[in-house]
Amino acid sequence: MAFLSSTLRKSMPYVTAKLTGAGLSLFLFFTALLFIADFDLYEFSKTIDAPLIWLVFYGYGMICSMFIDWLSKKTPALKKTMKIIFIFLQDRLFFFRWDGWQQ
């Protein structure tokens, strides 16, 4: 790893943690989806083939998580409870139109 810059080496654990969190969220979503599909593997495989699902969990999820981390660095008084509330709000903002709340 001598060819990597020191900044890149310092940021790798942070990015790895974000990728791991996104992967865990995707795994939990796929597990719930498998139950919803009544273990119909054909229907499940058609659903997880959609690129939008992968983009939402890895793209949107990581960007929002990094924004919340940046916000917490800028405001040191931000407590862990507020971080959890921000994460909940970012989920509500994105999934609001698909979860049946909008009538």
Domain ranges of the chain: 10-95
Q: What is the pLDDT of residues 55-83, one digit of tens each?
A: 877 887 788 888 888 887 777 776 777 77
Tokens of 71: 């916000």
Q: How far apart are CA 17 and CA 13, in angstroms?
A: 6
Angle between helices 61-74 and 80-95 (to 10 degrees): 150
pLDDT (average), residues 20-33: 82
- Yes or no: say if 72 and 87 are a contact pair by the CB < 8 Å rule: no
pTM: 0.61
Q: How far apart are CA 72 and CA 62, in angstroms?
A: 15
